[in-house]
Structure 1
Amino acid sequence: MNRQTDLSHISAFTTLADILADFQIPLPSTTNGPEIILTGEIPSPELTKSQRINLTLIGAIPALANAVVAATIFEARGGSRQRVEIDLRRGHNYIDPDIGMTPSLNGQEITLDLVAGNPFLRNIFETRDGKWVVLSAVYVDLAYKWTALLDCSMAESSARAAVKMWNAADLEALAAKAEMPMAICRSEKEWNTHPQGSVMTGQPIVPIEPAKKRSSPSSNCSPFPATVPDRPLSGLKVLAVTHAIAGPGAGRTLAEHGASVLQVMFTHGFEHAFVYTYANLGTASTRLSLNKDSDRQRLWTLIRDAHVWIDSYREGAIRKFGYSDTAMHNVNPGLIITHIRCYGSSGPWAWKPGFDMQGSASSGLMCLMGEGLGDGRPRWPPGMVINDYTTAYFAALAVMGIVLRRVNGESDWDQGWVVSPSLCGTAMGILRFFKTERFPGTGSGEPLSPEMLEGDTSLGYLKTLAPLPKMSATPVAYQGDLLVTMGSSRPVFPGFDDGYDIRALTPMSKEGVVHSFAAGVVKKLERIRMLGEEERKARDKAYDIARKAAVL
């Protein structure tokens, strides 16, 4: 082993130890847990766009940590000790599947049609007072709302002109009133002294709290069978009421190690094909409408039978239907409840909506990316989306850490937990543990492309990234169907069919859909339009008074 390879391996092991310590998970020893093998060396930062943050380690270490804990769980359940191996030369590909390859179905790139021309996806906007902000419309309904709020068109020039009319703090306040995803690009120092940033600075990457202990005769929080499992998480039932990337990705990561994962989408919810085809590998996909009593009851049945709940909607979006932490723990005391938010589950911004981009903007990550580059303006991190998949790994790691405590007898199976991963918390973790400056002298090798995973699916012949970690006894794999059509599964846990009969269900009439869903969308758009109109009038008056006072 040459000096560069040695430095690379020291950096990787140090970062792995740091991450596991942050999650209160012990490192494997020579007698307990897997043997960890690193191959290759960290590539040159210039070749992997890692001048500011080390993409190799960001892509490799969270996935490695999950594999290490999965192997430790397998051993604790009576399985054999095994080796876990990663190739550092491929790690940079795994922060986003489009970095190192182009995923495809039947040889065609996966469609991007509904994001083309959207000005609220890849732009960083300048405000009236010379600051920089990120407004996000990841889904088309958000684009409708931004144009209604700002009184602009979907042309980029129109959106930029509308944003330039506002001071950053005033636009942030407007977005908050409209419940829209927006963030000011702040430095690390600014964020750490911000009311929300100061709360999150004192927390681990993923806060994990035990719930108030309950007992319920109807609880299904039973331990795993005493028999040696085929996979580390065999028997673990995961209910994921999620959208976008981080939530489904957490379910996918647990499925990679043998969990039975049911992803639930709202009946009239939308997901981009390029997101769904990677974030949902190895999971079942069903649709339920929380506006229908029968579907709400079905969801409660699934909650009673689940070990893990994951949701990734803004605070209150699901709770308003009755699915509060207290209510879920009342029917299933041992449930591991996982809320993936933009800013976590505590602090003044716990309610605030946001996506990957808001996490990067708020935390200081985008300001770091712009340091020393020409005008010093904030820049996107490489690949733009960096927190989503990493948050998925961190969420799964937190869940597996609790499962490890249970199989080791350190936590009762009827002890519930609340896990709070966040996109901004992940960005802060990247700044804490993955800055390139932490590893001086590391990185001179050549990067490698990712290994390919391919196979027939109900959507066509899929080619995408193969999981990075290699495990000698329980290879990372997707049981059952590699990828199912969105919403095509029955609402049952894969491998645990309880006989739920979908043939007896009656769909809502079109008139009912209009009344319960579409009419609400129209009303919300009008409310947002009127809010924008009122706030623009108040803005113009206030700015005019300030201008006149400045002249005097």
Structure 2
Amino acid sequence: MTPLEQVWHAARCDPAALSRVTVTGGDPQLPSVYRVARLATAVIAAEALAAAECFRVRTGREQHVEVAARRACVAFRSERYLRIDDGPAPELRDPLTGFFETRDGRWLQLHANFAHHRAGIVTLLGCADDPASVAAAIRNRDGAELDQALGDEGLCAALIRSPDEWAALPQAQALANLPLLEIERIGDAPAMPIGDPAGAAPLSGVRVLDLSRIIAGPVGGRTLAQHGADVLLINGPHLPNIAPLVIDNGRGKRSATLDLREPNGRDTLRALLGQADVFLQSYRPDALAARGFGPGDAARIRPGIVYVTVSAYGHEGPWSTRRGFDSLVQSASGIAWTEARAAGQAKPRHLPCQALDHATGYLAAFGAMVALQRRAREGGSWLVRVSLAQTGRWLQSMGTLDDGQRTHDPAFDEVQDALLTMDSPFGKLTCTQPAERMPETPPRWARPPVPIGTDEPRW
């Protein structure tokens, strides 16, 4: 069974629809021992075919979807290829984000792209706030002990583990009992059509609340937007962001701010939720439930809601509430270890793109569209769960390529045919095109990204 077939069958979709998709090209497309192109084409073909099915359900019109491996891998590096006014590639990483060697000869990755995470790391280490001081402090600590201490403080780090070490952990064992993605009915509601019956795009008239930041969740919202959904991004005014990612993943979205710590902010979100079709969020499991916006709460406020949750390490197991990002999951689960071994080096090595983030984002959009089809057919409120760690486990199951790292790494100038330009409040943007080809409903972003808080929090 191909990875696309695995996704399609995991979601219990109609196998006959697979005859309406063509995937061309394969691995390797990027310098990695992992089958990144196989992952990219599978998730992009799945979400594109789900969009085509939404359109077919509404209009009766079929179309054939095409996905090329090269374009899919370009899309998987969208933040890397972003340019503003023909300037240089934006900087995405804090200097403290990276690999550090520990006293016992292990490697630890820090993730310090948010200022408060960086400050917390420096405080815990009791050192000066610069890379040399941090490296020296980490060389005086054992890896597993420091990894645990950082995790206990809610900071972002991961001990580099081999796949076997990861598999022995309770968290990995919890994930082994979960499917790649879950689409569950969580409440009763009458059947509802998918968006506007007269709409020209698959998701015309579908309202999406996007409460996510950085890459995975925002890619999910961006994907729904490219198929015509009305996506309203909701940020907390106090929450940090990474400016280039706001731009890259804000395409097609409006942007508002609400402070969910305040009653007025929660009241406004409830009112928006009462008229939404999809609620997409990437807070840690149970974080929004504490504010009254867990899956069950959402289903009571808006019977018929499709609630999509994106997490780092999954919703079960001792790490379910641990903070995590794509690179940390790669480090913890053995991906960075495997890439380093293949390169013949001791220092860990990540994938050549944020593959877990992007794949999980596309899976989130896929799950949302499948759930919308089920709601149209049988009614109900629906919960979709995806996680970076489950996606990473799936990628690892695809096996490795002996000489994958020798593959040429395509530069910006070599991917111009897969890019587009658009004017925006940030300046002229050069960014990736949607990877899929859909002749009846070509995916596109109807609006450029906007600064956070540009729009009012209303439909």
Q: Does 1:107 align with 2:86?
A: yes
Task: Say which of 471, 484, 500 aligns to 2:438.
Answer: 471
Corresponding residue number in structure 1 for 2:26 = 42
Task: Say which of 410, 416, 424 aligns to 2:389.
Answer: 424
TM-superposed CA distance for 1:180, in Å, is 1.2
Q: 1:221 to 1:244 in 2, by over 3 A?
A: farther
Corresponding residue number in structure 2 for 1:290 = 260
Cα distance between partner residues in 1 of 2:9 and 2:441: 24
Q: Cα deviations across residues 104-148 of structure 1 (Å, max 9, x unaligned)?
A: 222223643x845x21x2x21222222222221121121111111
- The one-letter code matched in structure 1 to 2:142 is N
Corresponding residue number in structure 2 for 1:162 = 137
Q: Answer whether contact 2:277 2:306 (CA < 8 A) is retained.
A: yes
Percent same amino acid at aligned positions? 27
- The one-letter code matched in structure 1 to 2:451 is T
Cα distance between partner residues in 1 of 2:120 and 2:383: 32
Q: Cα deviations across residues 334-357 of structure 1 (Å, max 9, x unaligned)?
A: 222222111111122111111112
Corresponding residue number in structure 2 for 1:134 = 109
Q: 1:434 to 1:262 in 2, by over 3 A?
A: farther
Q: Answer whether contact 2:304 2:375 (CA < 8 A) is retained.
A: no
Q: Answer whether contact 1:264 1:287 (CA < 8 A) is retained.
A: yes
Corresponding residue number in structure 2 for 1:458 = 425
Cα distance between partner residues in 1 of 2:163 and 2:307: 30
Q: TM-score, normalised to structure 1's length?
A: 0.76
Cα distance between partner residues in 2 of 1:316 and 1:431: 28
Q: Cα deviations across residues 448-503 of structure 1 (Å, max 9, x unaligned)?
A: 62512212112221111111101000001112x2222222011123xxxxxxxxxx
Q: Cα deviations across residues 335-380 of structure 1 (Å, max 9, x unaligned)?
A: 2222211111112211111111221112221122122332444321
Q: Which has the larger radius of gyration?
A: 1
Task: Say which of 245, 248, 253 aligns to 1:275.
Answer: 245
Corresponding residue number in structure 1 for 2:223 = 253
Corresponding residue number in structure 2 for 1:508 = none
Secondary structure in structure 2 of the residue aligned to 1:370: helix
Q: Cα deviations across residues 248-288 of structure 1 (Å, max 9, x unaligned)?
A: 11111111111111110111223222111111110111111
Corresponding residue number in structure 1 for 2:453 = 487
Task: Say which of 359, 381, 387 aligns to 2:351.
Answer: 381
Cα distance between partner residues in 1 of 2:144 and 2:457: 44
Task: Say which of 380, 405, 409 aligns to 2:374.
Answer: 405
Corresponding residue number in structure 2 for 1:201 = 176
Q: Answer whether contact 2:161 2:337 (CA < 8 A) is retained.
A: yes
Q: Cα deviations across residues 180-206 of structure 1 (Å, max 9, x unaligned)?
A: 122222222222221110110121222
Cα distance between partner residues in 1 of 2:287 and 2:179: 25
Secondary structure in structure 2 of the residue aligned to 1:74: helix
TM-superposed CA distance for 1:35, in Å, is 2.7
Corresponding residue number in structure 1 for 2:68 = 87
- The one-letter code matched in structure 2 to 1:401 is V
- The one-letter code matched in structure 2 to 1:392 is G
Cα distance between partner residues in 2 of 1:225 and 1:18: 28
Cα distance between partner residues in 2 of 1:316 and 1:35: 38
Q: Answer whether contact 1:49 1:55 (CA < 8 A) is retained.
A: no
Corresponding residue number in structure 2 for 1:177 = 152
Task: Say which of 6, 9, 14 aligns to 1:26.
Answer: 14
Q: 1:180 to 1:432 in 2, by over 3 A?
A: same
Cα distance between partner residues in 1 of 2:316 and 2:247: 32
TM-superposed CA distance for 1:399, in Å, is 1.2
Cα distance between partner residues in 2 of 1:290 and 1:426: 30
Q: Cα deviations across residues 180-234 of structure 1 (Å, max 9, x unaligned)?
A: 12222222222222111011012122233322x356xxxx984346835311112
- The one-letter code matched in structure 1 to 2:2 is T
Secondary structure in structure 1 of the residue aligned to 2:420: strand
Cα distance between partner residues in 1 of 2:260 and 2:114: 20
Q: Does 1:64 align with 2:45?
A: yes
Secondary structure in structure 1 of the residue aligned to 2:315: coil
Q: Answer whether contact 2:44 2:67 (CA < 8 A) is retained.
A: no
Q: Answer whether contact 2:375 2:381 (CA < 8 A) is retained.
A: no
Q: CA RMSD in A?
A: 2.6
- The one-letter code matched in structure 1 to 2:450 is V
Cα distance between partner residues in 1 of 2:196 and 2:70: 39
Alignment of 1:335-350 (within 5 A): 335-350=305-320
- The one-letter code matched in structure 2 to 1:210 is R
Q: When the two structures are aligned, how many residues end up with a matched partner?
A: 453
Corresponding residue number in structure 2 for 1:528 = none
Q: Answer whether contact 2:103 2:142 (CA < 8 A) is retained.
A: yes
Q: Answer whether contact 1:172 1:184 (CA < 8 A) is retained.
A: yes
- The one-letter code matched in structure 1 to 2:239 is G
TM-superposed CA distance for 1:33, in Å, is 6.7
Question: Which has the larger displacement, 81-90 or 353-362?
Answer: 81-90
- The one-letter code matched in structure 2 to 1:109 is P
Q: 1:432 to 1:22 in 2, by over 3 A?
A: farther
Q: 1:252 to 1:434 in 2, by over 3 A?
A: farther
Cα distance between partner residues in 1 of 2:290 and 2:372: 29
Secondary structure in structure 2 of the residue aligned to 1:371: helix
Secondary structure in structure 2 of the residue aligned to 1:420: strand
Q: Answer whether contact 2:44 2:72 (CA < 8 A) is retained.
A: no
Corresponding residue number in structure 2 for 1:15 = 3
Q: Answer whether contact 1:369 1:379 (CA < 8 A) is retained.
A: yes
Q: 1:141 to 1:468 in 2, by over 3 A?
A: same
Secondary structure in structure 2 of the residue aligned to 1:350: coil
- The one-letter code matched in structure 1 to 2:390 is G
Q: 1:490 to 1:221 in 2, by over 3 A?
A: farther
Question: Which has the larger displacement, 449-458 or 349-358?
Answer: 449-458
Corresponding residue number in structure 1 for 2:210 = 240
Corresponding residue number in structure 2 for 1:536 = none
TM-superposed CA distance for 1:98, in Å, is 4.8
Secondary structure in structure 1 of the residue aligned to 2:445: coil
Q: Does 1:334 align with 2:304?
A: yes
